């Protein structure tokens, strides 16, 4: 059947071909790019050709397996062994006669390769510099070096590596891989990620040298606010590297970190995630990672870490942090105090790459780069960075041309100030290099209001800037932590915009690893010591990440395995909540954090009772847990938590509704949560919706909600039949509103509605970030309601097409790469007849869609392109 075209299959949540995966039985997914109208899959076959490195082994074939599944189907072949590499292809049959009994052509091949799957595979040992740290150069990096011989040219080579701290490897003077900030940040004591590199091309017959830069990073560098903490995970950095080579002559060589290695102080005098990097190029030992050099003075034998447990090693489940974009300055100006200021036109996360041409005369000259998100009075405004210096320094070696970029730090900035440049400054010599988890973009949105489009763009940029291995609150100040509440509210938006399944699955494993024995979820994952928050106590909205995130990811990606993996964690949280953790507790709750009515120095002071927020979330999480239990076939639990949820709803009504049918906190957040979480008895739903709309109108359609209410306010209004109020809220341009920052030139989402005050000064609150995704959670409403694209069944196996035009918008569109392929919608109001809605949408193969257009009875469609036109009911 020639007309069926499959895309390259995927294994688990790995982006395309991947070496070093940790799954022995990676689940497979494929998408049907082309098929005849009405075609549905009835069977599939998987072919797995093991790459036997030389020997020809006949491919393993599953034979025809009946079924329509094409997302995360079980690995049908024998499990992979460590290092096993194979090429996977899939073909499919149609369900009925349209298939003609003939299979499709085989899909293009996917190559997957297992990493080191068992602790026994590791023979290398974790090594690091010996001796005491130099108190004069506390955050100095180390260089490590190991030499080995190959008897013949390499045919095939893999390097497995990890570190306590951050590492960057060099083989014979060439950089290994393109990962940034490896091995990433996990709950190191329990889970330490390792990376796998193909280094065949970097090796040669004869002597070779493997070298490493090693920095403190999250492991022992200063992290956390209020001065932060050092040595959170230990006081010694270390490198673990294991090289496995098959030579052309058939010999195998294994070489790893161990007692024969050498360490020397590195050229980076200071490498700090918050403060920046200070690199003295004069201190780079010539040829230090090449065999021609002996190493030289200053090299000392390493020390083997006796306390390292290989069982903590984990292969990545998501993509690494990489450079994802280069941005040139859009303007270079001189500030009132005479400094050179660069404007990159975009608040971004990364660092600058400098190219100097000083020559020998400039040897020892120091270039300083300071970073900030905003200017005030024409100068960098660094106060919001608090205790993060965000300053890089480069000392020139004096070569004709030197190119440098920091390795072990990153900054959140739009502006940079450059000082000490040798010779004439040419803006072309500076590039901003954007870094972040290299997630595949999967979601797009646009509409007829360009300010709304800029808001959406800002949400995308805030996601990129705050998905740096860990989903963080902010990327610039002395914080950058995995605050659970922020990502909890942002997950539906995140999962639409980028494929973050693998990354967040890893982070949720850290959440479970750091969860307390009594079920309490830390406020920050990975958990670190923080003033005021340790030990953690149950915190609604934040701790609910344990339940609501696996559920949202299940809705987006259809991964039942993730639900299973995180079930214990989710249940422990709900049990803790119901045992008085947050439900009914008077304990200190963040509640509707950052309500715009709260004064800058008291973000707790919300209009909405924090106990009400906690009670609402208790009911919500119990209800979602019951659904998770049902999916997993845990029917006794499902029943128990359904009952618990009903009880929690009753308690909510009893405690927080008044005799006249209002809520005790007569606030937008209170009604919005009650409506969206379905907490109210039937009779109170309508009045609550009416009251919510009244409050929103009474506030002049300005935002009056914080972290808890903002993500749901537009959805609540939509459900309450007050769609126009939702649109007026969305399109409001006065402060506080989503678009106010846009009118002030924002290029990312701000932490506070008024991070920049209307008078142009920076908010005096000590917590003032210009890059926080949490309040950008409204983008979910743009996707699902304005454009009208949402999953109606887990993993988008059923698509919901339900635009809700309004607010004067004349068109909108959205596109999402679902696990089954592309779904998109575009609608416009007819030019001549503004009450005429015309919509076009595409539904991927393997799914069906429910189409729900205003004024029309919902109907069902199958895969393919569709059109619809309808006269809108008069508002």
Query: What is the rounded CA–CA span in Å between residue 782 and residue 796?
Result: 17
Tokens matching residue 719: 């459900």
Say whether 751 is catalytic. Answer: yes
The separation between CA 362 and the C-alpha centre of its own chain, rounded to angstroms, equals 41
- The alpha carbon dihedral of 795, 798, 800, 801 has a sign of positive
CA distances, 107 to each of 27, 90, 684 (Å): 16, 5, 54
Q: Which is nearer to ligand RAM, 590 or 676 (CB)?
A: 590
SS3 sequence of 365-383:
CEEEEEEECEEECCEEECH
List all residues 6 or more positions away from 581 whose beta carbon is below 8 Å from its beta carbon.
Answer: 519, 520, 537, 538, 543
Tokens matching residue 81: 């062994």
Among 183, 234, 252, 189, CA closest to 212? 183
Query: What is the rounded CA–CA span in Å between residue 608 and residue 718?
Result: 21
Query: What is the rounded CA–CA span in Å between residue 124 and residue 212?
Result: 15
**Site residues, ligand RAM (CB under 6 A):** 473-474, 479, 483, 485-486, 590, 593, 767, 772, 774
Q: Which is nearer to ligand RAM, 466 or 506 (CB)?
A: 466
The two most distant CA atoms of the chain are separated, in Å, by 87
Say whether 860 is catalytic. Answer: no
Question: In the complex, what is the shortest distance from the CB of residue 568 to ligand RAM, in angstroms, rounded to a whole number?
Answer: 25
Query: What is the rounded CA–CA span in Å between residue 403 and residue 431?
Result: 11
Active-site residue (options: 12, 479, 527, 715): 479
Q: Which is nearer to ligand RAM, 218 or 707 (CB)?
A: 707
Question: In the complex, what is the shortest distance from the CB of residue 530 to ligand RAM, in angstroms, rounded to a whole number?
Answer: 9
Q: Which is nearer to ligand RAM, 45 or 486 (CB)?
A: 486
Q: Which is nearer to ligand RAM, 386 or 719 (CB)?
A: 386
Q: Which is nearer to ligand RAM, 767 or 814 (CB)?
A: 767
Q: Which is nearer to ligand RAM, 148 or 604 (CB)?
A: 604
Beta bridge mates, 356: 402
Query: What is the rounded CA–CA span in Å between residue 371 and residue 433?
Result: 13
Query: What is the rounded CA–CA span in Å between residue 517 and residue 435?
Result: 36
Q: Which SS3 state, helix, strand or coil, does residue 294 take?
A: coil
Active-site residue (options: 373, 402, 634, 751): 751
Question: In the complex, what is the shortest distance from the CB of residue 166 to ligand RAM, in angstroms, rounded to a whole number?
Answer: 23
Q: Which SS3 state, helix, strand or coil, does residue 99 take?
A: helix
What is the bridge-based pairing of β-strands 391-395 and 276-280? parallel
Q: Which is nearer to ligand RAM, 556 or 767 (CB)?
A: 767
Question: In the complex, what is the shortest distance from the CB of residue 483 to ligand RAM, in angstroms, rounded to a whole number?
Answer: 4
Question: What number of H helices and E strands is found in the chain?
Answer: 14, 47
Question: In the complex, what is the shortest distance from the CB of residue 774 to ligand RAM, in angstroms, rounded to a whole number?
Answer: 6
List all residues 6 or more positions away from 633 whose beta carbon is below 8 Å from its beta carbon.
Answer: none
Question: In the complex, what is the shortest distance from the CB of residue 250 to ligand RAM, in angstroms, rounded to a whole number?
Answer: 56
Query: What is the rounded CA–CA span in Å between residue 809 and residue 787?
Result: 11
Angle made by CA atoms 670, 675, 677, in degrees to the nearest 5:
95
Question: In the complex, what is the shortest distance from the CB of residue 770 to ligand RAM, in angstroms, rounded to a whole number?
Answer: 12
Among 38, 51, 156, 60, CA closest to 112? 51
Question: In the complex, what is the shortest distance from the CB of residue 472 to ligand RAM, in angstroms, rounded to a whole number?
Answer: 9
Q: Which residues are catalytic?
A: 479, 751
């Amino acid at each position: 059947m020639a007309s069926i075209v499959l895309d390259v299959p995927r294994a688990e949540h790995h982006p395309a071909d991947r070496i070093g995966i940790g799954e022995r039985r990676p689940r497979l997914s494929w998408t049907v790019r082309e098929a005849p109208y009405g075609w549905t899959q009835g069977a599939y076959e998987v072919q797995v050709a093991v790459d036997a490195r030389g020997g020809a082994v006949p491919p393993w074939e599953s034979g025809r397996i009946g079924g329509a599944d094409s997302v995360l189907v079980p690995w049908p072949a024998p499990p992979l062994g460590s290092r096993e590499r194979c090429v996977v292809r899939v073909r499919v049959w149609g369900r009925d006669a349209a298939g003609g009994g003939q299979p499709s052509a085989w899909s293009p091949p996917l190559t997957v390769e297992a990493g080191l799957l068992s602790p026994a595979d590791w023979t290398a040992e974790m090594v690091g510099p010996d001796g005491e740290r130099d108190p004069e150069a506390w955050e100095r990096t180390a260089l490590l070096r190991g030499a080995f011989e190959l008897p013949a040219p390499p045919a095939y080579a893999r390097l497995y590596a990890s570190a306590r701290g951050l590492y960057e490897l060099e083989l014979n003077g060439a950089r290994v891989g393109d990962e940034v900030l490896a091995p990433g940040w996990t709950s190191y004591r329990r889970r330490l990620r390792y990376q796998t590199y193909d280094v065949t091309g970097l090796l040669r017959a004869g002597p070779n040298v493997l070298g490493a830069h090693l920095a403190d990073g999250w492991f022992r560098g200063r992290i956390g606010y209020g001065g932060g903490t050092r040595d959170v995970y230990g006081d010694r950095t270390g490198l673990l590297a294991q090289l496995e080579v098959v030579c052309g002559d058939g010999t195998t060589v294994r070489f790893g970190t161990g007692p024969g290695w050498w360490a020397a102080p590195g050229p980076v005098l200071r490498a700090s995630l918050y403060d920046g990097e200070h690199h003295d190029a004069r201190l780079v030992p010539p040829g230090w990672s090449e065999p021609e050099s002996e190493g030289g003075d200053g090299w000392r034998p390493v020390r083997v870490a006796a306390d390292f447990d290989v069982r903590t090693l984990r292969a990545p489940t998501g993509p690494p942090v990489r450079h994802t974009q280069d941005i040139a300055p859009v303007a270079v100006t001189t500030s009132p105090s005479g400094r050179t200021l660069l404007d990159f036109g975009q608040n971004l996360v990364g660092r600058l790459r400098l190219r100097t041409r000083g020559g020998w005369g400039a040897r020892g000259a120091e270039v300083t780069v300071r970073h900030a998100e905003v200017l005030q009075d024409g100068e960098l405004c660094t106060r919001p960075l608090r205790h993060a210096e965000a300053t890089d320094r480069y000392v020139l070696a004096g070569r004709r041309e030197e190119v440098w970029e920091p390795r072990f730090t990153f900054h959140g900035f739009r502006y940079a100030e450059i000082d000490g440049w040798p010779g004439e400054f040419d803006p072309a010599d500076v590039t901003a290099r954007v870094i972040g988890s290299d997630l595949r973009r999967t979601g797009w949105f646009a509409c007829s209001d360009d300010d709304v489009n800029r808001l959406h763009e800002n949400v995308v940029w805030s996601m990129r800037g705050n998905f740096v291995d860990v989903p963080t609150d902010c990327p610039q100040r002395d914080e950058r932590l995995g605050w659970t509440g922020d990502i909890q509210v942002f997950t539906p938006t995140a999962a639409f915009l980028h494929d973050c399944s693998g990354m967040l699955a890893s982070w949720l494993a850290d959440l479970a690893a750091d969860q307390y024995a009594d079920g309490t979820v830390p406020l920050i994952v990975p958990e670190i010591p923080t003033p005021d928050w340790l030990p953690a106590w149950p915190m609604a909205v934040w701790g609910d990440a344990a339940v609501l995130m696996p559920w949202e990811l299940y809705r987006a990606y259809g991964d039942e395995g993730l639900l299973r993996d995180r079930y214990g964690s989710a249940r422990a949280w709900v049990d803790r909540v119901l045992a008085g953790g947050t439900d009914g507790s008077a304990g200190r709750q963040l509640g509707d954090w950052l309500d715009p009515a709260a004064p800058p120095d008291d973000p707790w002071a919300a209009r909405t009772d924090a106990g009400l927020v906690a009670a609402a979330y208790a009911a919500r999480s119990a209800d979602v847990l019951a659904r998770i239990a049902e999916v997993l076939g845990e029917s006794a639990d499902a029943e128990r938590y359904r009952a618990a949820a009903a009880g929690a709803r009753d308690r909510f009504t009893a405690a927080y509704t008044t005799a006249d049918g209002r809520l005790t906190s007569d606030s937008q957040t209170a009604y919005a949560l009650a409506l969206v979480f379905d907490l109210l008895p039937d009779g109170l739903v309508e009045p609550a919706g009416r009251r919510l709309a009244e409050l929103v109108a009474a506030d002049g359609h300005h935002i009056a909600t914080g972290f808890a209410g903002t993500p749901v306010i537009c959805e609540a209004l939509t459900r309450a039949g007050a769609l126009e109020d939702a649109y007026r809220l969305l399109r409001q341009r006065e402060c506080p509103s989503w678009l106010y920052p846009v009118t002030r030139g924002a290029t990312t989402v701000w932490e506070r509605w008024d991070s920049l005050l209307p008078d142009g000064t920076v908010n005096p609150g000590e917590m003032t970030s210009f890059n926080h995704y949490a309040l950008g959670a409204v983008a979910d409403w743009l996707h699902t309601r304005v454009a009208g694209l949402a999953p109606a069944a887990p993993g988008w196996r059923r698509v919901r097409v339900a635009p809700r035009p309004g607010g004067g918008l004349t068109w909108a569109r959205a596109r999402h790469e679902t696990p089954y392929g592309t779904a998109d919608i575009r609608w416009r109001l007819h030019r001549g007849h503004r009450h005429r809605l015309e919509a076009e949408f595409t539904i991927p193969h393997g799914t069906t869609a429910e189409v729900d257009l205003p004024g029309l009875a919902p109907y069902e469609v199958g895969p393919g392109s569709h059109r619809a036109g309808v006269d809108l009911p008069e508002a």
